[in-house]
Amino acid sequence: MKTSKIKSGVEYFIVPADYEGQRIDNFLLNRLKGMPKSRVYRIVRKGEVRVNKKRVNVYYRLIAGDNIRLPPVFLAETAKQAPPSKNTSALLVERVLYEDENLLIINKPSGMSVHAGTTVRVGVIEALRYLYPKLPHLELAHRLDSETSGCLVLAKKKRILRELHTLLREGKVSKIYVALTLGKWKDSELKVDLPLHKDYQDGGKHVVEVHDKGKSALTVFHTIKSYKRLASFMEVKLYTGRTHQIRVHAQHQGHPIAGDDRYGDVEFNKMVRNMGLKRMFLHAKSIDFTLPSLAQRITVEAPLDADLKEVIKAFERGVYEQ
């Protein structure tokens, strides 16, 4: 990538073919390692980042030859990224589900953000880059919410990352989750096809809601087991990858996810906390895709964490009746 600087500290980047198709926010997060995600979003919204002298939004996808203007950054801030703790490193190593020369797939722990941010010292990607210093191009292929556990895919090479992004955009990656939700669903299987709109607020925070002006989002919920009318253990298949998609679609149907502090039900959350649930009950159970360039099919499943198993056992025993 060609880079040039002027006296004001502004930097310009000419996008090579390898980066074509990558979203501008992902590019910036990689380029400015250690910078909070909220700040990256803010400088894009304010027009401090420009592409070919024009403003863009965070969803803009790079084109080979694009000229990106990046405002002066405090190198000390981006360079002082602290290494992960020994406990974090050991945890991530233990939770590697699959690895080859192109891919790394982990069972992401609940409570760990995928990126560092204003209130997050080290995220999954920063910790793994520290653990894999010989993999300079290690990148997240997609994201999971902080409280969601399960299958998280990282690419070791740019061309594999581009290929994964194409598969994700074309709906050729099968992603299945499990969740514990409030109440008993009327239908054993329900297709929820409702658009979602993400409203960015100050500080990079956002609120997602079902809205006619939103982007298409398709989720299929299948009941594994219901516990009277109090709760249901659900299998969830994602056909699109919108932010908070499962959480918002479940809440919109009147069946919010257990332990969800943003879209959940206060009384239901209190009940499951009394049963020992300290987190949101949403787990990325499996992922399945084929890399066309290698004719290689990847199928990985992440086991349910012990704390989630205990909650299910409690419902099986009827502890909720006490």
Name the token pair of 168: 């994700």
234 HSE (CA, 13 A, CB side)? 31
Greatest alpha-carbon pair distance for the chain in Å reads 70
Contacting residues for 76 by C-beta, under 8 A, at least 6 apart: none
Whole-angstrom distance, CA of residue 139 vs CA of residue 160: 10
Establish how many alpha carbons lie within 13 A of residue 276's alpha carbon, considering only the half-sphere containing its beta carbon: 12
Whether 145 is catalytic: yes
DSSP alpha helix (H) spans, 135-219: 158-169
Q: Which of 25, 66, 145, 260 is catalytic?
A: 145
Q: Are 252 and 194 in contact (CB under 8 A)?
A: yes
Distance between CA 64 and CA 109 in Å, rounded? 36
For 15, what's the count of Cα atoms within 13 Å in the CB-facing half-sphere? 23
Residues 6+ apart with CB under 8 A from 198: 206, 207, 208, 214, 242, 243
- Please choose, from the candidates 38, 27, 40, 46, the residue with its C-alpha nearest in 3D space to the C-alpha of residue 119: 38
Measured distance CA(298)–CA(154) in Å, rounded: 13
What is the phi-psi region of residue 73: left when phi exceeds 0, alpha when psi lies from -120 to 50, beta otherwise?
A: beta
Supply the DSSP symbol for 21. Answer: T
Which two structure tokens, joined as six digits, stand for 259? 């332990």
State the Cα–Cα distance between residues 143 and 104, nearest whole angstrom: 14
Catalytic residue numbers read 145
